[in-house]
Amino acid sequence: MQNFDNRNDLCFSFPESWKLDHEHSIENTDSVSVVSPEGSFWCVRRELYETTNAAVLEQAIVAMREVYPELEIENVVDLVAGEKLIGIDMHFLCLDLTGTASVRIWETTAAKYVIFSQAEDNQFEQLKQIFTAITTSLMSNRKS
């Protein structure tokens, strides 16, 4: 496993075969992305503004609908590392492939984190375990 630590509050582990998206992931940043060899990705962003959870999710839906007008939305609640993460799964069609993008919100007493992951549906179930493992490592490694 590789580790990312922005020396602030984002610290997590991710698979050796995945790459850090250097364009969007640097030390002392509030957003980090990692990409699988197949192009699927996981991203976390510390929400810097006091935006409501509903507004955060709506922003994601609006952005995705600009690219995928036929987007289907599913409200979800996941239990990760003993904590509830609210969010949405967005199902879309791109050319002849179907995909799923997930947005989850994790709130602590100090901050709110928006976790986004995306993969083609034929890989999503397998990658969901990896996405959850990365999220779990973030939650367990968060510095107080």
Q: What tokens were used for 88? A: 């949405």
Residue 30, in any domain of the structure: yes
Residue 115, in any domain of the structure: no
Residue 61, in any domain of the structure: yes
What pLDDT sits at residue 144?
Answer: 43
What pLDDT sits at residue 22?
Answer: 59
Residue 117, in any domain of the structure: no
Reduce the secondary structure of the chain to three states and give it as a string: CEEEECCCCCEEEECCCCEECCCCCCCCCCEEEEECCCCCEEEEEEECCCCCHHHHHHHHHHHHHHHCCCCEEEEEEEEECCEEEEEEEEEEEECCEEEEEEEEEEECCCCEEEEEEEEEHHHHHHHHHHHHHHHHHHHHHCCC
Q: Are 131 and 117 in contact (CB under 8 A)?
A: yes
- What domain range is 71 assigned to? 2-110+124-141
> How many folded domains does the chain comprise?
1
- Summarize the confidence of residues 107-126 as an average pLDDT: 90
Q: What is the CATH number of the domain that holds 18?
A: 3.40.1000
Q: Are 18 and 127 in contact (CB under 8 A)?
A: no
Average per-residue pLDDT in the chain?
Answer: 88
Taking only the tens place, the pLDDT of each residue in 73-99 is 999 999 999 999 999 999 998 777 899
What pLDDT sits at residue 94?
Answer: 79
Residue 97, in any domain of the structure: yes
**% of the chain at pLDDT higher than 70:** 91
Residue 116, in any domain of the structure: no
Q: Are 15 and 1 in contact (CB under 8 A)?
A: yes
Residue 119, in any domain of the structure: no
Taking only the tens place, the pLDDT of each residue in 15-57 is 999 998 855 554 445 788 999 999 999 999 988 778 899 999 9
